[in-house]
Structure 1
Amino acid sequence: MTTRRAFGALAAGTALAVLAPATTASATPRHRRGRLIAHDGFRHGLGQWATELQDGGTVTASRGVLEIDVPSGATVWFKKKLEGPYVIEYTATPVSAGGVNDRVSDLNNFWNAVDVRSPDDVFATPRGGALAEYDYLKTYYAGYGANTNTTTRLRRYVGEAGVRPLIYDYAEPLLTANEPHRVRIVSDGSTVQWWNNGGLVFDYRDPAPYTSGHFAFRTVWSHFRITDFQVWRLFNHS
């Protein structure tokens, strides 16, 4: 069995402490959905989204599918700012059908993202899709099946160039080609969770949590089909 490494970044961002790893075994979510606060069924184009593409590619939304087919870095932002506590849910399928970009890799997300260069408007600072341009975010960043489907990691960006503090670093679980991955992201105060297909992948308690900001799909040289994007207020929260 592969040994997992789990790390918690300390406040200074320079030291690491060992944390108990999350488990991908069957688990019951403790955070129940309340009212729906945002959604996109991907039938009316990209009006709710903003794209940042490093080297072109295509991003389309039609017939119930957000399709991202790109040769390098791509970030697709949800334009509405989200305030916690909330739960994000969506389904993503990595396409492997012989296409030029059908590399199964990088089901990634930013959430509660704020750009320190324009903290009141994440879109006021232009970015071109290369990963280093996002170092100036304060955000959580999940990379599931990244690095050609060899790593699964959680980072907590602190808004400094070249500094991407690592929280969890796993060699599994990874992406399965042409299979749906049902993602659930929990932002509830200090509780930060990322689920896939009912398994708890990341479970982090942040002593200084990011509780609001923007969500994005992020990938690199890949082809994804995404459906059923929904954001829910947590049960018993207004």
Structure 2
Amino acid sequence: MTRIFEIISRTARGVVLLFCIQAAAQPAYSQNDGRGSNATLLHSDDFTQEPLAGRWIAETEPKGRSRVRAQDGRLILDTGGGVTVWFKPKLEGNIRIEYDWTVLVDSGRNDRLSDLNQFWMATNPRNADLFAANAQARSGSFAEYDSLSLYYVGFGGNTNTTTRFRKYHGDGTKPLLKEYLDAPHLLKPNHTYHIVITVKDGRTTFSADGEVLFDWTDPAPLTAGWFGFRSTQARHAIDRFRVWKLN
């Protein structure tokens, strides 16, 4: 059984809905990960099992009719504005993050082919706790994340016209490191993408369906932080979330 907790708080900008989606705990174990090398499974979530409190936190912009929920073994983001769903455990070191993600386009009120986006190794330079004073700090609006330090990929952003990789420096600067504008690197409706992110020895990569879209060796690498799913004004389904420690 999956439980969803909705917390409503009020800020100067309006009402913020904070959803804590509970997910089942999985023990860490070492195994061959199918890629020819040993790895340790640190976390997994199929959004189907009896939950563990506080595993996910959603910051949902108070626009339109929005809901973040676990349904039928998938995490559903169905929002009229911006949303970031953070994985609460902090990640560090050499890791690989994997998940399946589908942009749903049919007759839903928020359906729009856009914004399969993600943050990783995110930290707040002004506070060691990314979620401190959460309701007062962030309402889910995209601009409110400019003060964080993180890596970001916006896959099919700007109504599916751009796919971009940026590094946020925590001071409002977020240089564009690489960009695609061609159709093969934009989104397809109702297609389930297998996304893989790696962070290893100062290098981070982002791949979709086995194709590496971004590969960046950072002279000042981010080695610890939080992961978050990010979208805006769309309906998305996410499943088979895994985090591996690379040995």
Secondary structure, in 3 states, of the residue corresponding to 2:113? Answer: coil
Q: Is the 8 A contact 1:33 1:233 kept in 2?
A: no
Q: 1:87 maps to what in 2?
A: 96
Q: Which amino acid aligns with 2:178?
A: Y
Q: Is the 8 A contact 1:49 1:77 kept in 2?
A: yes
Q: Is the 8 A contact 1:33 1:232 kept in 2?
A: no
Task: Give me the CA root mean square deviation.
Answer: 1.7
- Counterpart of 1:166 (choices 167, 176, 199) is 176
Specify which structure has the higher proportion of strand.
Answer: 2
C-alpha distance in 1, partners of 2:179/2:156? Answer: 11
Distance 1:164 1:228, change over 3 A: same
C-alpha distance in 2, partners of 1:232/1:50? Answer: 21
Q: Which amino acid aligns with 1:124?
A: A
C-alpha distance in 1, partners of 2:92/2:126? Answer: 20
Q: 2:46 maps to what in 1?
A: 41
C-alpha distance in 2, partners of 1:188/1:64? Answer: 30
Q: 1:121 maps to what in 2?
A: 129
Pairwise CA distance, 1:31 = 8.6
C-alpha distance in 2, partners of 1:182/1:147? Answer: 21
Runs of 5+ consecutive residues of structure 2 not aligned to the other structure = 1-33
The TM-score with structure 1 as length reference comes to 0.82
Distance 1:100 1:62, change over 3 A: closer
The TM-score with structure 2 as length reference comes to 0.79
Distance 1:131 1:32, change over 3 A: farther
Q: 42-51 or 107-116, which moves further after superposition?
A: 42-51
Larger RCO (CA within 8 A; separation ≥ 6) = 1
Equivalenced residue count is 205
Pairwise CA distance, 1:100 = 1.4
Question: How is 1:63-142 mapped onto 2 (pairs within 5 angstroms)?
Answer: 63-118=72-127, 120-126=128-134, 127-142=138-153
C-alpha distance in 1, partners of 2:161/2:220? Answer: 30
Q: Which amino acid aligns with 2:46?
A: G
Pairwise CA distance, 1:177 = 0.3
Q: 2:159 maps to what in 1?
A: 148
